[in-house]
Amino acid sequence: MERKEFLKKTLALCGLSLIPAGIMESCNKQTFAGPANVNFTLDLSNAANAPLNTVGGAVLSNGVIVIRSSGTTYNALSATCTHAGCTVGYNATSGTIICPCHGGTYNAATGAVLTGPPPSPLTKYTVAQSGHILTIT
Ligand code: FES
């Protein structure tokens, strides 16, 4: 057997059988999670957070999109698309979270996948309001 042929056959074997199935499986199931250990506050009197004083407004902070969904309700979702890790954005017109990379869309209240390739929902966080301070955890 010539060296070139030997290398060809060896590499073929490596590609087909020597990579553990678990590794191959985990590559196919890779998903991008949102930030962990989230714990921050947003001051609604701060100009940077002014969009949250209007229903339909949203602010991106600490990798989390915070959306004012009603007069008294806020939703907080990871800004990291679970498909390939792109930063998603809130579209107030459609009321959905949209990924600019491959067009995945998510429910802006729950983070559930609506359309496209994302394999799992966006991580949802808790929002508590005390006066003009929102605490996201
Ligand atoms: S990275 Fe968001 S849909 Fe692909």
For the chain, how many structural domains are there in total?
2
84 lines ligand 1 (CB under 6 A): yes
3-state secondary structure of 12: helix
Same domain? 7 vs 45: no
Same domain? 1 vs 67: no
| Gap from CA of 110 to ligand 1 centroid (Å) | 18
Give the model confidence (pLDDT) of 11-67 as tens digits.
343 344 444 444 344 445 568 989 999 999 999 999 999 999 999 999 999 999 999
Same domain? 64 vs 103: yes
**C-alpha distances in angstroms, 110 versus 32, 52, 66, 126?**
17, 18, 12, 11
| Gap from CA of 88 to ligand 1 centroid (Å) | 8
| Gap from CA of 95 to ligand 1 centroid (Å) | 18
Tell me the residue range of the domain where 103 lies: 40-136
Q: pTM to 2 decimals?
A: 0.79
Same domain? 129 vs 76: yes
Same domain? 25 vs 52: no
For 52, residues 6+ apart whose C-beta sits below 8 A from its C-beta are 42, 44, 58, 59, 66, 68, 74, 134
Same domain? 8 vs 74: no
Sign of CA dihedral 35, 41, 44, 49: negative
Q: Which residue has the higher pLDDT, 134 or 8?
A: 134
Atom of ligand 1 nearest to the CA of 88: 2
Q: 28 and 79 in contact (C-beta within 8 Å)?
A: no
* Residue 41, beta-bridge partner list: 135
What's the CATH number where 113 sits?
Answer: 2.102.10.10
**Does any domain span residue 35?**
no
